[in-house]
């Protein structure tokens, strides 16, 4: 199982457990997240690039992986993804570089 398959399997398994806990607040947060990234005034591609950039600045590797996967699903090119990651590094500073390395590695896995 490669890095992408492991991440997606773990995420799905744990999301099912979280939803099964039947907590109203957690369910609403998950629903809000789903709806926030749906097509709206901003298109899905733009929202995914924003999500990726914010995730990098906040240094959340799981979030970065998630948004990289969604970006590829949305048809965003590697060049556009790398440009968004460059902006994240500009905004977040050099502390984001370790997350950039992991993001580039994950992007390579997504492209296999």
Q: Which domains does the chain have, with CATH numbers?
A: 3-111 (1.20.1290.10)
| Residue showing tokens 């629903």 | 31
Flag whether pLDDT at 47 surpasses 90: yes
| pLDDT at residue 1, rounded to an integer | 81
Cβ neighbours for 99, distance < 8 A, ≥ 6 positions apart: 56, 59, 61, 64
Length of the chain: 112
pTM listed for this prediction: 0.94
pLDDT of amino acid 52: 98
- Distance (Å, whole) CA 110 – CA 21: 31
Mean pLDDT on 12-20: 97
- State pLDDT tens for residues 55-109: 999 999 999 999 999 999 999 999 999 999 999 999 999 999 999 999 999 999 9
Question: What is the pLDDT of the chain when averaged over all its residues?
Answer: 97
pLDDT in tens, 32-42: 999 999 999 99
- Helices 97-110 & 78-92 angle (0-180, nearest 10): 170
The C-alpha atoms of residue 67 and residue 57 are separated, in whole angstroms, by: 13
């Amino acid at each position: 199982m490669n890095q992408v398959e492991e991440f997606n399997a773990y995420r799905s398994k744990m999301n099912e457990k979280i939803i099964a806990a039947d907590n109203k607040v957690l369910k609403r947060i998950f629903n809000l997240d789903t709806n926030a990234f749906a097509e709206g005034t901003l298109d899905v591609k733009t929202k995914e690039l924003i999500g990726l950039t914010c995730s990098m600045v906040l240094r959340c590797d799981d979030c970065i992986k998630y948004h990289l996967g969604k970006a590829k699903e949305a048809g965003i090119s590697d060049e556009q993804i790398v440009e968004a990651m460059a902006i994240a590094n500009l905004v977040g500073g050099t502390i984001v570089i370790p997350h950039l390395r992991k993001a580039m590695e994950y992007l390579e896995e997504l492209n296999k």
